Amino acid sequence: MTSIEFSEGLENETSTDDLEKTLVIVAADADKRNYEVIEKEDNLNDEKDEDIQPKSSKKLKICDFKDERCSNTSLRKAKPDESVAHHSRESYANIVATHYNSRLEKGLHERSKSRLFYLRNFHNWIKSMLINEYLVKIKDKKKNNSPIHVHDMCCGKGGDLLKWKKGSIHHLICSDIAPVSLDHCKSRYRDMQNRIGHERGSESIFSVEYIAADCTKIRLREKYQDPSMKLDLVSCQFAFHYSFESLKQAECMLHNAAECLSAGGYFIGTILDSNHLLVRARKKKSNRFGNGVYQVQMDFDINKPPLFGAKYHFYLDGVVDCPEFLIHFPTFVKLAKKYGLKLIEKSNFYDFYEKMKIEGKQLMVNMKALETYPPYQGASLVGDPKFDYEFAEEYIKNYTSGEGVYVGTLSKSEWEASSIYLTFAFEKVKNSWASDGTPIYEI
């Protein structure tokens, strides 16, 4: 049992009450046991790692986009063959944009009633820890306190604005395909600005610019207020999978992520772990699997998924319900190299949690990232009391004095959903130049 007692070292924390001192992710252990047999990383496709072309596409044309479209002479155009979704690419972008545009902004009260209240908070905690980890590295490198420039790619409604404020950055570029989400983001930023304006002695907040665009198709740099701006960090949270609709889109998005990063800067994010998704589908011998919290429907042969355009629907209790695409991680890494991005970290959420649990325990409490079990003072549980908390029960029985003990946990169903995600981080490396002016990266 690798469950964690959060009690050690918390005695002197003034804002942590007794109840919250014994947080533990119990369901995580349960899930780990269930998925011990993870198939090999590169099991998505029989094709060799060196060949990143969609299956059965032969020689591919040079990409001939002009103007603001992603342009890169080394991009090759994939034929619309069986490995790439047959749907019009434009229409998927529209479905995604329409979906996010129509999502209503829910207040805190409304969110607290959601079945996914703790799961969302837990994911928010993961993002906070990841962003903070890399902002700290950037500050360590900078030494002279020079301004920090960040691009929040696919920023949505600006759920990470507070994280950027806490990280004391100086300028933020927010891009997203859904203009309505960007409007929410703008008004959140204005509220934040107003609040700060009323706090006496508070420092000024970072500046922001907004770009409404499809990051998988448009070269974003040309839309920056200052296209010569160098970035320290590009963050793409829960969104990179949209680009794996096609090779061309994945390359465009990576180009956007890497193009303005300074050498030594980082590209970080969170995505679904395709390997894990496939393992679950294959274990169930079905294209459809999930539980009461999440459902996945895969629209391709799970025994022979294509490298690009492997479309699935991911439904997370009212949070996401639109087409997404598997990201074959070795392909992601290989494509990233082309843009000078070197993989430095990849962790599933469980391992990331393990790494950050001590450093982030106070934040975890503040963010209500775990549910209290047994329910405190008549509160009701978000999960099924009979099914979702058996590991919390077991933990209390085997590892604590029992009576009057409370633990923090995610319900088993929520953990099953959360454990399909992973975090990644790439570093932009220095380059030399070829005689034709193209950059050469030694990775």
Ligand X SMILES: C[S@@+](CC[C@H](N)C(=O)[O-])C[C@H]1O[C@@H](n2cnc3c(N)ncnc32)[C@H](O)[C@@H]1O
Nearer to ligand X, 10 or 212 (CB): 212
Using rule CB under 6 A, residue 154 touches ligand X: yes
Handedness of CA 103, 164, 151, 360 (dihedral sign): negative
Nearer to ligand X, 29 or 160 (CB): 160
Per-residue buried b or exposed e for 236-271, using 16+ beta carbons within 10 Å of the residue's own CB = bbbbbbbbbbbbbbbbbbbbbbbbbbbeebbbbbbb
Q: Is 64 annotated as a binding residue?
A: no
Q: Which one of the spans 189-197, 233-241, 287-295, 356-364 is the region binding ligand X (CB under 6 A)?
A: 233-241
Pairing between β-strand 371-373 and β-strand 407-409 as defined by DSSP bridges: antiparallel
Using rule CB under 6 A, residue 239 touches ligand X: yes
Among 6, 118, 238, 424, binds ligand X (CB under 6 A): 238
Nearer to ligand X, 6 or 244 (CB): 244
Using rule CB under 6 A, residue 100 touches ligand X: yes
Among 237, 256, 274, 331, binds ligand X (CB under 6 A): 237
Nearer to ligand X, 4 or 272 (CB): 272
Among 85, 178, 180, 261, binds ligand X (CB under 6 A): 178
What DSSP line would sit under 27-71, residue for residue? HHHHHHHHT--PPPTTTT-SS-TT--SPTT--S-EEP---TTB--
Residues 27-56 binding ligand X (CB under 6 A) are none
Per-residue buried b or exposed e for 121-144, using 16+ beta carbons within 10 Å of the residue's own CB = bbbbbbbbbbbbbbbebbbeeeee
Q: Is 61 annotated as a binding residue?
A: no
Q: Is 176 annotated as a binding residue?
A: yes
CA distances from residue 283 to 275, 294, 327, 389 in whole angstroms, order as listed: 12, 17, 20, 23
Residues 193-222 binding ligand X (CB under 6 A) are 214-216
Nearer to ligand X, 100 or 267 (CB): 100
Binding letters toward ligand X, positions 70-99, x by CB under 6 A: -----------------------x--x---
Q: Which one of the spans 42-50, 137-145, 151-159, 429-437 is the region binding ligand X (CB under 6 A)?
A: 151-159
Helix (H, G, I), strand (E, B) or coil at 231: strand
- In the complex, the smallest distance separating the C-beta of residue 159 from ligand X, rounded to whole angstroms, is 4
Nearer to ligand X, 49 or 222 (CB): 222
Which residue lies nearest ligand X, judged by its C-beta? 156
The length of the chain, given as a count of residues: 443
Q: What 8-state DSSP symbol labels residue 254?
A: H
Nearest partner of 234 among 162, 320, 144, 148, judged by Cα:
148
Nearer to ligand X, 155 or 205 (CB): 155
Q: What 8-state DSSP symbol labels residue 384?
A: -
Using rule CB under 6 A, residue 156 touches ligand X: yes
Using rule CB under 6 A, residue 181 touches ligand X: yes
What DSSP line would sit under 293-344, residue for residue? SEEEEE-S-TTS--SS--EEEEEETTS-EEEEE---HHHHHHHHHHTTEEEE
Residues contacting ligand X: total by CB under 6 A: 19
Nearer to ligand X, 156 or 383 (CB): 156
Burial class, 41, CB count within 10 angstroms (exposed 0-12 / middle 13-18 / buried 19+): middle
* End-to-end CA, the chain: 39
Query: Quick check: bond before 179 cis, omega within 30?
Result: no
- In the complex, the smallest distance separating the C-beta of residue 320 from ligand X, rounded to whole angstroms, is 6
Name 266's Cβ contacts closer than 8 Å, sequence gap at least 6.
134, 137, 138, 232, 233, 234, 344, 425, 426, 427, 428
Binding letters toward ligand X, positions 303-322, x by CB under 6 A: -----------------x--
Among 57, 148, 151, 159, binds ligand X (CB under 6 A): 159
Q: Is 193 annotated as a binding residue?
A: no
Give the integer Cα–Cα distance in Å for 242 and 266.
20
Nearer to ligand X, 159 or 306 (CB): 159
Q: Is 377 annotated as a binding residue?
A: no
Interface residue list for ligand X (CB under 6 A): 93, 96, 100, 154-156, 159, 176-178, 181, 214-216, 237-239, 242, 320
Annotated binding site for S-adenosyl-L-methionine: 127, 154, 176, 214, 237, 242
Q: Known binding site: residues?
A: 127, 154, 176, 214, 237, 242
